[in-house]
């Protein structure tokens, strides 16, 4: 694949795994980051050492919706166009019902739903002209909700709906699909070993996945899924079998 790929939140975790996988398949990677400058620049330099002039870094706060057109323009100038948008950037933290604030609502909906929508809209002409695609990183909890995380779950459910709506709005030129991770990387907030074990008991494969598992699914949607749009690939080791 010789595609120009913008990955939001690409400095760490699943975003970085997607960057490495797609770079290994010949893509030019635009590593978007908000605050993780050191990790983003290290990843950019790592990729450029492997193949010169094959990766760039782009800093932006995606919650600043007024600047998303500028983000789209900058990405296109950096790479000479954008073939693929991967909406990966995501805020994630608990918001117990009865305690959730409007500021939390705005941040979680903003990062997980509003920014992906307006960034896709800003890139629509480039994606259509290049017959590109969008991959949204959603979540298995979009379907039934994660207890204690109602606002996050609502935001991801909206991103699933957006995936299906934009598949209609942007077709036939642009395909829009999503990937729903299960237990891939343990959350950065505290989770006890007992809590992890309880989760894995409800996973058919009895183990957590790896960021590379998500990256491979993303690569498939970009490279091989020419007749697939509006769909969500669930990569959860069978977790959703035990709801």
Q: What is the C-alpha separation between 176 and 231, in angstroms, rounded?
A: 8
Q: Where are the beta strands (DSSP E) in 36-174?
A: 55-59, 84-87, 133-137
Q: Which residues, at least 6 apart from 189, have a Cβ–Cβ distance to it below 8 Å?
A: 93, 94
Q: Where are the beta strands (DSSP E) in 43-139?
A: 55-59, 84-87, 133-137
Q: What is the C-alpha separation between 26 and 164, in angstroms, rounded?
A: 28
Q: What is the C-alpha separation between 189 and 56, in angstroms, rounded?
A: 30
Catalytic residue check, 152? yes
Q: What is the C-alpha separation between 10 and 58, in angstroms, rounded?
A: 10
Which residue in 93, 141, 152, 243 is the catalytic one?
152
Q: What is the C-alpha separation between 156 and 136, in angstroms, rounded?
A: 10
Residues serving a catalytic function are 152
């Amino acid at each position: 694949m010789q595609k120009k790929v913008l990955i939001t939140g690409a400095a760490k975790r699943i975003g970085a795994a997607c960057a490495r996988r797609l770079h290994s398949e010949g893509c030019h990677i635009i590593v978007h980051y908000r605050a993780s400058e050191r990790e983003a620049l290290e990843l950019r330099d790592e990729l450029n050492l492997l193949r010169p002039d094959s990766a760039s870094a782009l800093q932006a706060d995606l919650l600043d919706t007024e600047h998303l057109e500028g983000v789209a323009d900058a990405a296109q100038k950096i790479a000479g166009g954008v073939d693929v948008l991967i909406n990966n950037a995501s805020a994630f933290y608990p918001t117990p019902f009865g305690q959730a604030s409007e500021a939390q609502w705005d941040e979680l909906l903003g990062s997980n739903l509003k920014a992906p929508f307006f960034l896709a809209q800003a890139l629509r002409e480039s994606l259509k002209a290049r017959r590109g695609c969008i991959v949204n990183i959603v979540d298995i909890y979009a379907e039934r909700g994660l207890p204690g995380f109602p606002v996050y779950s609502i935001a991801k459910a909206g991103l699933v709906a957006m995936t299906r709506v934009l598949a209609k709005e942007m077709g036939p030129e642009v395909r829009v699909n999503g990937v729903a991770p299960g237990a891939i990387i343990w959350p950065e907030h505290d989770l006890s070993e007992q809590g992890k074990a309880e989760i894995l008991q409800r996973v058919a494969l009895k183990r957590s996945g790896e960021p590379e598992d998500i990256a491979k699914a993303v690569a498939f949607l970009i490279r091989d899924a020419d007749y697939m749009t509006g769909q969500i690939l669930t990569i959860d080791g069978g977790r959703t079998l035990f709801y």
